[in-house]
Chain A
Amino acid sequence: MTALNLPLTDPAALHAGDSVTLNGTVYTARDAAHARFMEALSAGEDLPFDVAGATIYFVGPTPARPGHVIGSAGPTTASRCDAYSPALVERGLAAMIGKGRRNAEVKSSMLEHGCVYFGAIEGTAALLSQCITSAEIVAYEDLGAEAVRKLTISDFPALVVNDLHGGDLYDDGPARYRRQA
């Protein structure tokens, strides 16, 4: 398992299927926050954080218990943001963390602009919450769980799903184990 710091210094060294741990800053956003990003961009306004070099984690955590940084925080289905992601990738978004396949448009945009997609395991949400060392709402507080949060993550386990060489773990992995029923 390779420990990586965010922002990534050598994304081209990563390959689909690599098991990594991520360390550094990520921003949370899911469906509703992405819709607002698009409204902001259409209106010519700034996004709540600088997307150039940033990492987005598709997650809507549970409320934190007293004394905890955050609640349960596993990845949600990334494809629901497929309609929005290319606009962010074009502006320099460097990485995304989620679960599930991305569509062809997102993947081609990621290859063109150099963005890596990491897969995490949703059913490890309680474990992942323990890899989050700070959390702060930076935008859209009215969205509750869907607000944009700045998180510091440490030893956060993930796998490289889409690398910068066209590899896709969600294609390559199952292909190795497919058989005739």
Chain B
Amino acid sequence: MVDVVRAGGHCGEVGRVSELRTVDVAEVEAVVRKLCVEANHELREDHVAALQRGRAAEESPIGREVFDRLLENARVSAAEQIAFCQDTGYAVVFLTIGQDVHFVGGSLAAAIDRGVAEGYSDGYLRASLVRSPVDRVNTGDNTPAMVHYDLVPGSGIELTLLVKGAGCDNMSALRMLTPAAGVEGMKRFVVETIEKAGPSASPPVTVGIGMGGTFDRAAVLAKRALTRNPTGSPSPDPKLAELEAELVDAINATGIGPAGFGGTVTTVAVHVEAYPTHIAAFPVAINLDCHSHRVRSVTL
């Protein structure tokens, strides 16, 4: 038995020899538990700031009233520890793992699910998942988590929890556009999706868009795009940043407004992520998140 394995070659920083890092899955369980409770009770500060910017820009009196109530709800939710929204959602986990990490203490996936079950029970959060779309029996503890794993060089671990409400997830869409449809076709698809969602997605929405990759890759990119921090910060790619600004304007031009009652602010953030794709393809996935945008990240 060896406790430490010397892993040479191209792991971690190129040319360095990195040591295998051992992490007990109990640590992941504890973190997931904590994040489930926090994310459901305390909106991230940057998202509160995005709502405040929306309040300042909104022209409709009813719309401003909706923003005021959302901000008051955020305050009461945190102070009284009452969940921000009754739909405490799917627990979506993005786990980025350095390839020099060795998990011990049992199944990592099972540990994440235990963390979700404990967090949802301890935080008085709603169990909203059914074991099958067919028989629809509630699993009772909001498991399983929806986990996306990414392996990267090094020995770090980053965990992001997105509490994803179903009302807005239901209003999301994916379309396989043609290269000829191009960016203009993509913009039309985004506006069409927002119009179709209307009040049901609980605007002001955060919009995650994944372009490129395959059918499945686009969907995961769109979901991950929602987790960008801070909310509303532009893409580092200037072309995508410009597209994001154009989409914010096009979405707000729909007039749907806060809660769908009419207004000038229908979205507080559009985050676009792009990925290489096929010469024949232009996949576009649009994932909507409601005004209850609940995200937390930690580095382990």
Contacts and interface: CB of A to CB of B under 8 A. Distances in A.
- The answer to whether A and B come from one shared complex is yes
A127 B200 contact: no
Question: By CB atoms of chain A within 10 A, which of B72, B253, B260 has the most?
Answer: B260
A175 B124 CA distance: 40
A178 B263 CA distance: 8
Contacts of B264: 177
A61 B126 contact: yes
A169 interface: yes
B194 to A, nearest CB: 11
Contacts of A77: 167, 170, 200
Given A126-B76, A126-B77, A180-B253, A170 B83 contact: no
Nearest to A35: B136
Interface in A155-181: 157, 159, 169-170, 172-181
A64 interface: yes
A64 B86 CA distance: 11
Contacts of B170: 77
A172 B253 contact: no
Given A127-B72, A127-B76, A177 B81 contact: no
Interface stretch (B5-13, B62-70, B155-163): B62-70
A152 interface: no
Contact of A178 (B140, B249, B253): B253
Interface string B71-110: 0110011001111111110000000000000000000000
Interface string A133-171: 000000000011100000000000101000000000110
B60 interface: yes
Contacts of B77: 72, 126
Mostly, the A contact residues are mixed
B36 interface: no
B125 interface: yes
- Sorting the interface of chain A by its residue count into under 10, 10 to 19, 20 to 34 or 35 or more gives 35 or more
A54 interface: no
Contacts of B256: 174
Contact of B257 (A119, A130, A159, A174): A174
Interface residues of B, number: 52
Nearest to B121: A63
B200 A101 contact: yes
Contacts of A64: 124
A123 B260 CA distance: 12
Contact of B62 (A60, A126, A170, A173): A173
A158 to B, nearest CB: 11
Interface of B: 59-60, 62, 65-66, 69-70, 72-73, 76-77, 80-88, 124-128, 136, 138, 140, 167, 170, 191, 198-200, 202, 246, 249-250, 253-257, 259-264, 290-292
Interface of A: 17, 19, 32, 59-65, 68, 71-74, 76-77, 79, 99-101, 119, 121-127, 129-130, 143-145, 157, 159, 169-170, 172-181
Given A169-B262, A170-B199, 18 more contacts: A60-B126, A72-B83, A99-B199, A100-B199, A121-B66, A122-B290, A123-B69, A123-B84, A124-B69, A124-B72, A125-B85, A126-B76, A126-B84, A144-B127, A159-B261, A173-B60, A175-B262, A181-B191
26 contacts: A17-B62, A60-B126, A60-B128, A61-B86, A71-B124, A76-B167, A77-B170, A99-B167, A99-B199, A101-B260, A121-B66, A121-B70, A122-B290, A123-B292, A124-B69, A126-B82, A129-B82, A144-B127, A144-B138, A145-B86, A173-B262, A174-B257, A174-B262, A177-B264, A181-B191, A181-B250
